[in-house]
């Protein structure tokens, strides 16, 4: 039996509280069960040097886990002197995912930086970060349109993410840490509301998986994403 008597296709309780940081252009805290992430979106009226002659804006992301986010203190990467491979991979995933739903040419030569800081971790931090980052970005765009910093809405679709996996030959959606740590197959699926799949990350941890199981994971996350899109829209509007 799963925690909180969840069904196999049921996500943990999700709450997104918008506008939690008055200094950021857009912000929210997303709570997915016991995984909590603060997401902010900041706009800068400049782009990286390699983009300056390309008539395009940019969007990038940074991700981190605060020291108290895990059961044993997580040492700050700034103290270690470098980011871990996991951190680099996740922040690239967040940025890559959000770039699929934004028209960079409508950013007036500027860029968005999305910051996702995990304050409490219980599995699914990267997927919660993507879902929360979209809300923060949407709120930032609304503010910048009101201020006439942007003249057109650059967002072309909604995006959310959800984890899933296989335990004892059964597919489960939205794995918490206790499930993720023993899963035979672990996957993260990033979906847009209208245009389809942005990215699929899936790997056999303890066994392989077949095409039918992959299709089942995608189908179950598609159904779960419908609820996430509703929660995101309420937070934005």
* Count of domains observed in the chain: 1
Domain that holds residue 166: 3-236
How many Å is the Cα radius of gyration of the chain?
18
Q: Which helix (H) or strand (E) holds 179?
A: helix 177-180
The Cα 27–Cα 144 span in angstroms is 13
Question: Which among 156, 97, 87, 100 is positioned nearest to 131, based on CA atoms?
Answer: 97
The Cα 6–Cα 197 span in angstroms is 25
**pLDDT value of position 78:** 81
The Cα 204–Cα 209 span in angstroms is 7
Q: Is the dihedral of CA 135, 140, 146, 148 positive or negative?
A: negative
Q: Tokens 């103290």 correspond to what residue? A: 79
Token duo for residue 120 = 């409490």
Q: Is the dihedral of CA 86, 88, 93, 94 positive or negative?
A: positive
**pLDDT value of position 197:** 95
Write the CB contacts of 3 (distance below 8 Å, at least 6 apart in sequence). Answer: 33, 176, 178
Lowest-pLDDT range, 15-24, 32-41, 48-57, 199-208? 48-57
| CATH number for 207 | 3.30.230.70
Q: What is the pLDDT of residues 48-89, one digit of tens each?
A: 777 777 788 999 999 999 999 998 998 888 888 889 899 999
Q: What is the pLDDT of residues 175-232, one digit of tens each?
A: 999 999 999 999 999 999 998 999 999 999 889 999 999 999 999 999 999 999 999 9
Question: How big, in percent rounded to 5, are the helix, strand and coil portions of the chain?
Answer: 35, 30, 35
CB 232 within 8 A of CB 225: no
Distances (CA, A) of 130 to 15, 45, 99, 199, 232: 14, 23, 11, 12, 11
DSSP state of 102: B
The Cα 224–Cα 4 span in angstroms is 17
> What count of residues does the chain have?
237
């Amino acid at each position: 039996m799963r925690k909180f008597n969840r069904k196999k296709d049921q996500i943990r309780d999700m709450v997104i509280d918008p506008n939690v940081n008055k200094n950021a252009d857009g912000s929210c805290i997303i709570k997915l069960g016991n995984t909590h992430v603060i997401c902010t979106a900041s706009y800068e009226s400049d782009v990286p040097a390699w983009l300056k002659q390309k008539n395009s804006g940019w969007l990038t992301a940074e991700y981190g886990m605060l020291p108290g986010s895990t059961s044993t203190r997580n040492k700050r990467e700034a103290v270690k002197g470098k980011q871990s491979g996991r951190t680099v991979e996740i922040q690239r995933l967040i940025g890559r995912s959000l770039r699929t739903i934004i028209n960079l040419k409508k950013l007036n030569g500027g860029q968005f930086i999305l910051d996702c800081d995990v304050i409490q971790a219980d599995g699914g931090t990267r997927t919660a970060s993507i879902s929360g980052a979209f809300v923060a970005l949407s709120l930032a765009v609304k503010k910048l349109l009101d201020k006439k910093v942007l003249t057109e809405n650059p967002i072309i679709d909604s995006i959310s993410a959800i984890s899933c996996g296989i335990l004892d030959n059964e597919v489960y959606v939205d794995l918490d840490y206790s499930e993720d740590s023993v899963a035979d197959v672990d996957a993260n699926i990033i979906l847009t509301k209208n245009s389809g799949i942005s990215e699929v990350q899936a790997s056999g941890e303890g066994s392989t998986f077949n095409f039918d199981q992959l299709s089942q994971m995608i189908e179950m996350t598609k159904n779960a994403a419908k609820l996430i899109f509703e929660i995101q829209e309420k937070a934005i509007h």
